[in-house]
Amino acid sequence: MELTTIWFSLIAILWIGYFTLEGFDFGVGMLLPILGRNEKDRRVMINTIGPVWDGNEVWVLVAGGATFAAFPEWYATLFSGFYLPLLLILVALIVRGLAFEYRGKRDDDAWRARWDLAIIVGSYVPALLWGVAFANILRGVPIDADMEYVGGFFNLLNPYALLGGLTTLMLFITHGAVFISLKTDGPIRAEARALAMRLGLGAAVVTVAFLVWTQLDTGSAGSAVAFVLAALALVGGLVAIRAGREGWAFLGTFVAIALGVAGLFLALFPDVMPTSLSDGVSLTTTNASATDYTLKIMTVVALIFTPIVLGYQAWTYWVFRKRISTHHIPDPVPEPAAVAVGDSGGGTTQD
């Protein structure tokens, strides 16, 4: 197997890891105003992803870095052509990360409400725009003979791409609901399980529509198999959540997203960014790749460090594997009252 094919496959694996792991992070954030009826419920929801959300984001950083090093032409065309949506995603991820860190810095309802809004918006925006971006890559965008993107922002807002965005959004919010039911106990667990069933039905309809459209438009035999298995895994996850088997349900949504993303890359190969212009040039694993020497060095580095990263992340999930509920959340500590300074006959007060 050629190194270009190996690195295309590795980049696909990185995106699978990102969507399956960060997907439930986005889902938890999107569900914050629905399941988080009070501060303790919201604390429980945020704490389910608190130890892992930043580690899950590493996958997209590595995917971007690997694309830059292994396929520089793909990286350059993608980030120049999709500049605005990718910038919106980046800003949303930054604001969302700040919200996780700062919402608990002050015991003030208005303060927390503003950061909660940042978490919600910072979860919805990437969940939608990642699907829009990947759908456009599959559909093809205007790339000229110089391998440069010559379209505009509104070229990306076509019906197929918007359906792709709705698909990732629905899958992620379902994945998040299943994760909350898996990681919590008490009333929020039951509510999340019931909500996951309702959301999952909508996600199944949208996902099947998008995958069928993709298969008819650009699919291959390999993508067809992956898409069918993804649909079956999603159905299996819904059956499991209905039976109260949250672990199996989470596995079902996890596998459905993984196989769906794998199918998209199988449908794309050997292109990495096809052109929609008759006189344009599609970017492929061959004409967009780095030199063989670069790919060889990257392969050695990946073989050394990938097992370390996977082991560390697996250990993190194992350590924080137990369920949490509202009785684990302490009551807020009141701010200290003013303390008198001076003698008994009079004086001033200070905070």
State how far the Cα of 286 lies from the Cα of 248, in Å rounded to an integer. Answer: 40
pLDDT at 344: 42
Q: How far apart are CA 333 and CA 330, in angstroms?
A: 8
**Side-chain half-sphere exposure of 228, counting CA atoms within 13 A:** 7
> Helix 246-268 and helix 221-242: axis angle, to 10°?
170
pLDDT in tens, 240-294: 999 999 999 999 999 999 999 999 999 999 999 999 888 889 999 999 999 999 9
Domain ranges of the chain: 3-330
Residue 306: what pLDDT?
87
Residue 3 confidence (pLDDT): 93
> How high is the pLDDT of residue 335?
52
For residue 67, CA distances in Å to 12, 290, 321 come to 10, 10, 32
Residue ranges for the chain with pLDDT beneath 70: 331-351
CA distance 47 to 10: 31
Which pLDDT belongs to residue 204?
Answer: 95
pLDDT at 333: 58
119: Cβ–Cβ under 8 A, 6 or more apart, which residues?
29, 32, 46, 96, 99, 100, 103
pLDDT at 332: 61
CA atoms within 13 A on the CB side of 248: 11
